[in-house]
Structure 1
Amino acid sequence: MINQNILEDIAIEYGTPSYVFDIDELTKRIIKISDILGDDINLCYAMKANPFLVDSMKPLVGKFEVCSPGEFAICEREHIEMNRIVLSGVNKEKSDIEHVMDDCGGVGIYTIESLNQFAILNECASRRKITISVLLRVTSGNQFGLDEEVIEQLISDRAQYKYIDFKGIQCYSGTQKKKILQIEKEIDWLDGICSNLREKYGYEVRELEYGPGLPISYFEPNTDNDNFDMLQQFSDKLDGIRDKYEITLEMGRFMAATCGIYLSRIADLKTNNFQNYCIIDGGINHLNYYGQTMAMKLPKTDFIHMDSTNMHLTEKKDGIVPWNICGSLCTVADVIVKNLPLDNAQIGDMIIFYNVGAYSVTEGIYLFLSRKLPKILTYDSKNNIKLIRDDLSTDEINSRKL
């Protein structure tokens, strides 16, 4: 992980709040994931976790899951090869599909989430007389995907769809699964669906795309956030089906979370009703720890004293003191963590939040109160620091055009 001296230099040069994505950490992690799973497993990056990592992911994964027209536009700008894109998403608009087919030559594979989606894709492909590969997404009991009966219907009628190549099955049932048993049961369930399609309809599933939802450990006291033991158990389970299908594993959080760092400096300190409050220049609009409960859990953090002259009157508290870390939003909900011990905290000091490489950068309530979006930087030992997005004002988005 990036040396604290480097993070201090970044904060001084570029300001806070800022995200810093450690590309060395990202690369090391994905290589380790690939080594455990084996060369026969395709890795697919769910770019919704962090679209700013798409360029860095190019040499590390084989595919990119795209779930919206905006994400597809990012892939176009990043020059992602179209045959590496899995075009997913619960709402596929006809105009967007036409753009993909007419202007981009189509993509590697399309997922099917409903009969309506299938009809749109079939119509667009048939009109152009091009064959497209599809994965039928099986639902796990929510608004996503198809019932098994609908999948059987499509497979039984597959001969009448001249321009649809039914390549296989796709499933994603959720994130942060704590027990390997749930994942193992899902593998058995999906393998059973494939066996049923073969026995009843003579259809051979060629590709199985699965999102395992492996967990990341965000909170103390468990700061061992690699979860590679569970990954190894998962890999062992895959041994039973490796020879049956081409397996693609779609992951976002598990790949990206550990490479992200969020830098924020203390803007104010005070004590109200015997509670110590530390106001930082960031907030919950920038930080999102999955599983945080009323700010009671302690995420992995570091604290750095910065060289600054504090000319303001402040209630100085010497020694290690628990602080409620609150952001700059004018809402009582903007509490990031309660009772975080800080040693001789002063205005201008910096708190470093780790494991924010997934979702925080795009999932926060960014437009609330029209505060600026943070700078985004990447770091690696060869190219050092790159500013890949400056801070952005949101007041124009939040007001009518005059």
Structure 2
Amino acid sequence: MELEQPVKSGWSWSVFFSSLRVQLLLGLLVGVALPVSVYFSGSVAILTSNAAAMNSALIAVTATFAAVLAVRKLSEFPGTIGASYIFPAFTASYAAGVAIILLARAPYSGALLSLTFACSLVTRFAIGAMERRRDEGRYYLVPGGKIDRIRRDLGARLTMLDEPMLPGDPGAIIVADLHHDHSDEWERAFAVAALNGIGVYHYKQVWEARTGKVRIEHLSENSLGSLIPSNSYAKMKRLIDIVLTIVVLPILLLPLTITALIIRLDSPGPVFFRQERIGYRGYPFRVLKFRTMRVPQPVTGTVDAVHDAITQDDDARITKVGRFLRQTRIDELPQLYNILRGEMSWIGPRPEARPLSEWYEREIPFYSYRHIVRPGVTGWAQVNQGHVAGISEVHDKLRFDFYYIKNFSSWIDLVILFKTVLVVIRGFGAK
């Protein structure tokens, strides 16, 4: 069979503005070069003789470049909207630039930096309004193997290919079970598709990218083909955890004290809630939280202990003050103590209560792999799924946790950080 070449589609603005090169070029030209030129009335030669102007221009170029790259990288994760990261990314980049200048005690122009910040921010928002959305592409499924597993997850933008004929639209995405023994015609089609710039993906990759979860039939390796997350990033993350905790602890000391007094007055019982949980590398530790429930009665029996470890919807045990603390996540703040002890991180899978963890061990042979990274105060499951109130939801939570471990990096931590701020503001997933 002779393979038909894809029909060439017309040029489109959305595809043009989706190019990273175009975004960088427009960001630097319109967001930096143009306002600098206007600020100096077209006489940019002053940059060579004015140290403040030169430093400010260099910071603007570097910050804009870094912010554009960061927005692109952050928007690659499932469930994220690229436009929601534009302001945080540009603010963080310019703030880092200003911090460097202040630490170096170098001269700079606040007016010029403010102007380039505003222009580059508006430029990136304008690009965002015109670029092609990630979900605009149509999925073309190749029959064979386990491809039917993801049909219901791809929505309406789905077409089944009956023969090795390549699609012609610019947003085409070919999805196949690449572990299946396809015919020679289909193997040839995959090669030609790649040569024509059409994405060809294994079905599991597409499912993970759409859902932010991994299937838990077996362990999934990371991008390095290993089960061990990046050791270099793990060490850097531990340093960040310690520094950040030391910085915020004096700021939070007064609010923590006031919260403790309110809990004490609201209901009888201790201020803090301590529970044994399974943490980093499978070692048990006692997590520290503000108490949000009435003092529980002792529970015996494996089944009861598992269900008791899960907070139900509208749980009657939660106090009035406790409901507010849960909604705002203030009840988690005492875990700064666990972070300093090395038992937890700011970001990571939430540590499970011992009865629930032991139940998982019996159900899933490789469950202990979840402990390969430090548990966190907030995590990928918390910002995507919210509170878990049933055994079926717990299984879904585990899929989110394994996705985080598989993609363990600074980028996914930044996404979780930004999403956590939105979660706290909206009160999403609190019980």
- TM-score between the two structures when normalised by the length of structure 1: 0.28
Larger Rg: 2
Q: Higher strand share goes to which structure?
A: 1
Q: Higher helix share goes to which structure?
A: 2
Of the two structures, which has the highest relative contact order with CA contacts closer than 8 Å and spacing of 6 or more?
A: 1
